[in-house]
Structures are given as C-alpha cells and as structure tokens.
C-alpha cells in the first residue's frame, strides 16, 4: 500500500504562445493528448492579465506539449512512472 503522495507538477504541461508573443505554462488534465490540447487552446482567446483582472484577451497561436511523467490514482498516490 502506498504511503507517500506523489508531488504536484507531474501532469501534462502546455506552454502557450499568443499573437503578441506572450507565453505561459499550465498543467492540463492527465488524460489529455497533445491533439486534445491543440483543439482546446489553439485559435481561442484567453485572459493574459493577472487575477483578478479580466481585461486583456489574446489568441493562442501555438503550444508546446510536455507529457505527464507518471500516473497517479484518484488519491494522488503514485501508480507508475512513465519516463
């Protein structure tokens, strides 16, 4: 039985780039593929101002996908490494 929770930050990550060149990284759901992420983000507009401001939206034009490095169960315990 696992006794240690796996650290956060092991979900797939996408680095998004907008029309102005602004970039940021965000984790996405464990089951999302690169194509799923492209379908969701590329071509859509997202807020690029800091919370709680909601004043500037830019179109995402590209992304870099980094796959997950492990699989965890619903409680956050390590099931398998994928690297």
- pLDDT for res 83: 57
* Closest to 65 in 3D by CA, of 21, 29, 4: 29
pLDDT tens digit sequence for 26-69:
988 877 889 999 999 999 999 999 888 889 999 999 999 988 77
What is the sign of the dihedral through the CA atoms of 22, 28, 33 and 39? negative
- pTM recorded for the entire structure: 0.71
Q: Where are the domains of the chain?
A: 13-81
Structure tokens at 2: 């696992």
The structure tokens listed for 45 are 């507009």
**Residue 2 binned pLDDT confidence (cut-offs 50, 70, 90):** very low
């Amino acid at each position: 039985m696992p006794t240690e929770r796996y650290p956060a930050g092991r979900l797939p990550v996408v680095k998004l780039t907008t029309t102005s060149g602004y970039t940021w990284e965000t984790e996405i759901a464990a089951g999302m593929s690169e194509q799923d992420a492209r379908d969701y983000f590329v071509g859509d507009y997202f807020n690029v101002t800091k919370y709680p401001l909601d004043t500037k939206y830019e179109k995402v034009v590209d992304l870099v996908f980094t796959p997950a490095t492990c699989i965890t169960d619903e409680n956050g315990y390590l099931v398998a490494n994928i690297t």
